[in-house]
Amino acid sequence: MTIKKIKYVFLLVVLTLVPTLPAVFAEDAEVSIAVGSSVPGCEVTNECFMPASVTVHPGDTVTWSNDDTAAHTVTSGTAKDGPDGNFDSSLFMAGTTFSVDTLDEEGTYPYFCMVHPWMTGEVIVEAAGEEQQEEEMMEEEGEETYASAMSADGSMNVEIESDVPTAGKELAITVGFTDPDGNIVEHVNYDISAIQGGTEVLSESAAHAMSEPGMHITEPLTSDSPVDVQVTILGIGFPGDETSWTGPQGDVVSLQVVPEFGTIAMMILGISIVSIIAVTAKTRVIPRL
């Protein structure tokens, strides 16, 4: 089990197509008034408006295009009870469109064509659900970075997660450690520092990562420029019992958070040997020279 946090949840959405109620979900929706819908028959398969049901979020735009050869209306309400006043296109001709972006209240809005009352459809307005929240989270997470590198002796993988530098904001840096098989290495002692433009924005000594990654927060940054970070591995063991510490000791992990690409470039430096560097990042890696 690796300590790397999985930030992205890919949702498997199973869509069941119901012939009597075609549906679509989108932030902005488009509906076609089908060719031939001015003649009864399309209501049998509910294909007068295609799709007959759309689901949007409050304030999203729904646009109807008249792809038929006859003029139609898109009028909220039902043929039985009449218009309800939520929206009404009035009569609009073939080849033109009508849009609504004023549906701010959640609910189901039925509509019909006043000229051809067998033509019916509905707009469902729902608040942002799990899927959209996940997408928004993914967009936010797109501003985070990941990288990992092996220690000089090949016994420990250092995993780093960070935001991208933003002027006026603190930079969050998470440091974790695993073995070559991805298992968490507990009780790792280390120092960490960060410098931006010659100014030290973080300096912590004798940090200790047990079974969870260590979290570190810099001072508010003065610019969006790169931040140089160093993690020095001190050894594995309980704090205060340095003489019994094991594992790599003195390996320095140097990295740079680069705002232009949202990536981390990192390097392992051994005390007296040249390390084999293994770097992974979710996007482009910029070697630090």
Q: Which domains does the chain have, with CATH numbers?
A: 23-125 (2.60.40.420), 143-281 (2.60.40.1930)
The bridge status of strand 53-56 relative to strand 23-25 is parallel
Q: What's the token pair of residue 182?
A: 């991805």
Q: In the prediction, which pLDDT does 222 show?
A: 92
The bridge status of strand 53-56 relative to strand 120-125 is parallel
The closest alpha carbon to 146, from 176, 105, 115, belongs to 176
The pTM (predicted TM-score) of the whole model is 0.46
Q: What's the token pair of residue 45?
A: 């398969």
Decide: 175 and 233 in contact? Cβ < 8 Å: no
HEC per residue, the chain: CCCCCCCCCCCCCCCCCCCCCCEEECCCEEEEECCCCCCCCHHHCCCCEECCEEEECCCCCEEEEECCCCCECCEEEECCCEEEEEEECCCECCCCEEEECCCCCCEEEEEECCCCCCCEEEEEECCCCHHHHHHHHHHHHCCEEEEEEECCCCCCEEEEEEECCCCCCCCEEEEEEECCCCCECCCEEEEEEEEECCEEEEEEEEEEECCCCEEEECCCCCCCCCEEEEEEEEEECCCCCHHHCECCCCCEEEEEEECCCCEEEEEEECCCCCCCCCCEECCCCCCCC
Neighbours of 163 (CB within 10 A): 21
The closest alpha carbon to 224, from 162, 169, 167, belongs to 167
| CA separation, residue 144 to residues 18, 120, 136, 282 (Å) | 40, 46, 13, 9
Q: Measured between alpha carbons, how far is 31 from 53 in angstroms, rounded to an integer?
A: 9
Q: Measured between alpha carbons, how far is 197 from 201 in angstroms, rounded to an integer?
A: 10
pLDDT in tens, the chain (289 residues): 444 443 333 333 333 333 333 344 446 899 999 999 999 999 999 999 999 999 999 999 999 999 999 999 999 999 999 999 999 999 999 999 999 999 999 999 999 999 999 999 999 999 865 555 555 544 444 456 677 778 888 888 888 788 788 899 998 889 999 998 889 999 999 999 999 999 999 999 999 998 888 999 999 999 988 888 888 999 999 998 999 999 999 988 777 777 654 444 444 444 433 333 333 333 333 334 4
Beta bridge partners of 25: 55
Neighbours of 134 (CB within 10 A): 14
Q: In the prediction, which pLDDT does 78 show?
A: 96
Decide: 28 and 61 in contact? Cβ < 8 Å: yes
Q: Measured between alpha carbons, how far is 111 from 13 in angstroms, rounded to an integer?
A: 28
What phi and psi values does residue 6 have, to the nearest 5 degrees?
-90, 110
Residue 233, amino acid:
I
